[in-house]
Structure 1
Amino acid sequence: MKELVGKWKLQHEKTDNFEDYLKAVGISFAFRKMGKAVVPVEEFKQDDDENWSLCISVSIAHTTLKFKFGEEFHETTMDGRKCKTTFTISDDGHLIQYQKSVHANIPDTRITRKKVDETTVTQIYEAVGTNVKSVRKFIRQEA
């Protein structure tokens, strides 16, 4: 996980199927258009031995998630969904963010962050229980 510490910016032209993913998780038309247009910057920080934070910023809003691996917490996503979120590390070393929806008719989301190389991370968004996935590419930003 330490290799993800730092700032990562979406390479907007390297996004695949994101609007379909947003639709699958119940996001309204207006929020889907806005979500597709913004360019998020994510910053991972290790606060101490156990505590981590993920700051997500777009031009109109920002949020900070504070977490410990394996511990569930309540999250309201930037698009307004309420969920119970858990961060874990997969057996192959990828960062998994699992968002369990609190609404029965909205699918859970699994976000897998995979470091491709020193400057690139891919994020795979999956609407759990559907065939809908989106892949987004993020590039490391200088401090």
Structure 2
Amino acid sequence: MEDFLDKQYILVSSENFEDYLVFLGISYIARKTALTLRPIQILSKDNEGRYTLTFKSRLVNTAVTFTPGQEFDEIKPDGVKVRASIAFEGNKLIHIQTEANGRTAKHIREFFQDKMIMTTTANGFNKTAVRNFELVQS
């Protein structure tokens, strides 16, 4: 993952993302707003070995700090509190979120030199949401 630290990846396209938001119960207006955003994702690491995954957009900026392989509490952008874990496998960041009702979502971010592809699956969601990000050239 070291090769992908501190790089900015901006959303350029999505497939089935609105369907995923419907599955989560996100309201119509909130969904339509979310679909207009072109968020940037950044993975960084501090001196103590903790990582931060930052999400920036014109409406909302959030970040989650984690130690790979350790569970932590997370509040998703929709306000739902989940138990989460993040692990690395090669060039993949695997982010698992479990809600209090047992519903689990899995977000796999696969990093490349010029892009990042995020795939999202969830138990009960019969599709895969794919979001494509491009490296922001500085």
Assess same fold via TM > 0.5.
Answer: yes
Q: How far off is 1:97 after superposition?
A: 0.6
Note if contact 2:4-2:113 (Cα within 8 Å) is conserved in structure 1.
no
What is the match of residue 99 of structure 1?
97
Q: How far off is 1:49 after superposition?
A: 5.2
Aligned length: 137
Unpaired runs of 5+ residues, structure 2, are none
Unpaired runs of 5+ residues, structure 1, are none
Q: Stretches of 4+ moved more than 6 A in 1? A: none
Let me know the Cα RMSD of the aligned residues.
1.6
TM-score, normalised with respect to structure 2: 0.89
Note if contact 2:20-2:125 (Cα within 8 Å) is conserved in structure 1.
no
Is residue 140 from structure 1 mapped to residue 138 from structure 2 by the alignment? no
Specify the SS of the correspondent of 2:38.
Answer: coil
Note if contact 1:25-1:127 (Cα within 8 Å) is conserved in structure 2.
no
Superposed counterparts of 1:1-143, under 5 Å: 1-5=1-5, 6-11=7-12, 14-48=13-47, 50-90=49-89, 93-104=91-102, 107-115=103-111, 117-143=112-138
Q: How far off is 1:50 after superposition?
A: 2.2
Distance 1:77 1:38 in 2: 16
Note if contact 1:119-1:139 (Cα within 8 Å) is conserved in structure 2.
yes
Note if contact 2:39-2:57 (Cα within 8 Å) is conserved in structure 1.
yes
Q: How far off is 1:77 after superposition?
A: 1.1
